[in-house]
Structure 1
């Protein structure tokens, strides 16, 4: 029986971890403690799950006390990104299993600290990279492992975040680099991990460009240059095309997306301490980029051409993987409720170097993130599926490489030069993981 404490009662904590532990995995897992910096979040968690009413709760400075009193052996880290490092290091110091939401940390230096701490510990780090578990992503991994396209030589990955989801990052703490590491880490590190995992190659060098094109004070759809506005009280919201695309004047109802959930404007503003998800997307304080284009060189010769746009008309991605024996292509259109045009069913197109094209229809499973969340939960709380023939659950090394690529992207944007991954990680990976 795993004895689990949850550090950070975000909506991701409630929906991805607490609810399934209580409903699907309770026979082998038990939540024995809750920790958050905001007492109100603890109250709301217990309101949502009355079976946790008698579970002890703790503040951030009571971590060691919590572990001692609960005799926990596993921690789930689902707090704000920049605080992950504190809980991970404390958990490893106590020789615990640490399950952390992605991104593992917000900078390469902290990734080094995690790996060094894990080397000293009897515990281990698991990073909840749910993208790996999506049906199409697993199928692509299997095709590569089968040698269908030979040795991978290049990858083209273009990711599109629509104006609802994309804007949400600029309404919240994510827009501050000190909290999120910027979107090349908070969001793109998930994409980099996916490519790293598909290729089974290590990223070596990154060169990138990036810009703030849509959000911030110079955004061309900004109704006026002003600060400290919030959507729920803004007098100009009906002149804001970003707001009105998802709302109407009659009843002021906006489409809800899975990254907002219970963090709607009214609930968050009234209940959470020092947090609301409706800050203006055109504030002066916004400094992170909303557009990236990057090239990543890998140690076995593959090249990744990557781009992401956080203000696209629709959500999804286009992927092509080239190898010495062929090519794989696929296109995903995500969040269909927010797409206003007909779009094709997602398939995988396989082009052998010599021969006829093959269209692969992938058997899918239900659940969030392309069916990835339920399978990840099973591996986390039941143990890794013994019938799976390849490694999929991610650890500290994968977390570190994804963070290092993300940091290299924004540093390259700022300094207009390439960055070596091992320089960012100070060769720590090679000490333990080579």
Structure 2
């Protein structure tokens, strides 16, 4: 039996880790909860009564927690900017770490974690669940089988709908110091996926980015007045973003993994002095909602990447080109939020010389396209003996995904290409 401390008692911690550990993976024991907000302990124990007697600690009591509860590992699932402190303290105590993505929020902190791991008996695993999606695993297998030959270029365009996209601007993600910006908080998922597919490391990035939809200059802003909240807003009947997902009787429910419905309309039961429904048109929003970037890889492949956080539907388009062929696929996410018919995802393979093949992948249930359950199995049961390639990510994967994300943002600000190695070596430490 392995003993775990939960650092950051967030919604993600409750749903992704605590619930499965109390049910499916009950051989693993939760010995303590750590967070800065006492309300989260109460919410957690109310939802999971079996944890009623589990000791709780605040961040400044981390060392006391380790000495008293003697965990073997920590699970880091708090706000992004808290990750680095928990990871570093765990490694100092030779503990293993399982952390949500992004591993940390800056390339400099990523370098610190990599160095700390080298000097520790503990290790760090980053929960990039998109790798475990059956389509993404199939793409990896096709590349490993040589179907594409040497990869020359990748086109990846990611679309976030107005519900999910707006949620980032209602919450703490709107502040760069807490999330690193969306090129880190969200796009690290995508950069890691490409890095893993290519089995390569990014070398240089050049990018453009802007705030087009949200903030006080947003075209759909019904009133220039900061400080409103959706649950109590006096102009929400004139807000297209609100009305798209809520009818006037407020009886409509919308599914989203990232924003719990019971926390809307001012219900703050799980958090102290925090609301996840701040106005998306506030004047303190300081992150971008649109990016386009080109990333050069060490082995020569080029990635053309874009992401938009305010679109009519959610999903992505992907094409990977190689010396022996090309694959194409498009996925639509959250079908309950798409107001039109759309095709089921498949992978189209075009050999450079030969007939096209269409591949329908066997899907699995669970969050993130079936990726979450497989990730949990690998974390708590070990690697699948039937799989002959690695999926679970470590510190280097976490670091390179963050460095690309920071490189995107720096390139936008500085209007020049950014060297990934210079970020991880911390030759450019200033955050402009």
TM-score, shorter chain, exceeding 0.5:
yes
Note if 1:15 corresponds to 2:15: yes
TM-score of the aligned structures, taking structure 1 as reference length: 0.97
Partner of 2:257: 258
CA contact (8 A) 1:11 1:262 kept: no
1:269 deviates by: 2.8
Partner of 1:379: 378
Partner of 2:335: 336
The C-alpha deviation readout for 1:102-139, integer Å capped at 9, x for no partner, is 00000100001100100110100000000000000000
Partner of 1:162: 161
CA contact (8 A) 1:248 1:254 kept: no
Partner of 1:136: 135
Q: Which moves more between the two structures, 85-94 or 268-277?
A: 268-277
1:383 deviates by: 1.3
Q: Distance in 1 between matches of 2:253 and 2:363?
A: 30
1:258 deviates by: 1.4
Q: Distance in 1 between matches of 2:332 and 2:386?
A: 30
Partner of 1:368: 367
Q: Distance in 2 between matches of 1:54 and 1:137?
A: 41
Task: Indicate how the Cα distance of structure 1 residues 163 and 58 shifts in structure 2: closer, same or farther if over 3 A, else same.
Answer: same
The C-alpha deviation readout for 1:315-337, integer Å capped at 9, x for no partner, is 00000000000001000000000
1:164-183 to 2 correspondence within 5 Å?
Answer: 164-183=163-182
TM-score of the aligned structures, taking structure 2 as reference length: 0.97
CA contact (8 A) 2:255 2:336 kept: no
Partner of 1:431: none
CA contact (8 A) 1:268 1:277 kept: no
Partner of 1:44: 43
Q: Distance in 2 between matches of 1:30 and 1:203?
A: 38
1:257 deviates by: 1.4
Partner of 1:406: 405
Q: Distance in 2 between matches of 1:105 and 1:263?
A: 28
1:264 deviates by: 2.0
Q: Distance in 2 between matches of 1:359 and 1:375?
A: 25
1:388 deviates by: 1.2
The C-alpha deviation readout for 1:73-93, integer Å capped at 9, x for no partner, is 110000000000000000000
Q: Distance in 1 between matches of 2:273 and 2:378?
A: 35
1:27-426 to 2 correspondence within 5 Å?
Answer: 27=27, 29-251=28-250, 253-261=252-260, 264-266=263-265, 268-426=267-425
Q: Distance in 2 between matches of 1:403 and 1:233?
A: 36
Task: Indicate how the Cα distance of structure 1 residues 344 and 384 shifts in structure 2: closer, same or farther if over 3 A, else same.
Answer: same
Q: Which moves more between the two structures, 270-279 or 104-113?
A: 270-279
CA contact (8 A) 1:4 1:76 kept: yes
Which residues of structure 1 form unaligned runs of 5+? 429-434
Q: Distance in 2 between matches of 1:271 and 1:394?
A: 30
CA contact (8 A) 2:134 2:362 kept: yes
1:267 deviates by: 6.4
CA RMSD of aligned residues (A): 1.2
1:349 deviates by: 0.2
Q: Distance in 2 between matches of 1:359 and 1:234?
A: 49
1:75 match: secondary structure: strand
1:385 deviates by: 1.6
Q: Distance in 1 between matches of 2:264 and 2:23?
A: 28
Q: Distance in 2 between matches of 1:263 and 1:424?
A: 40
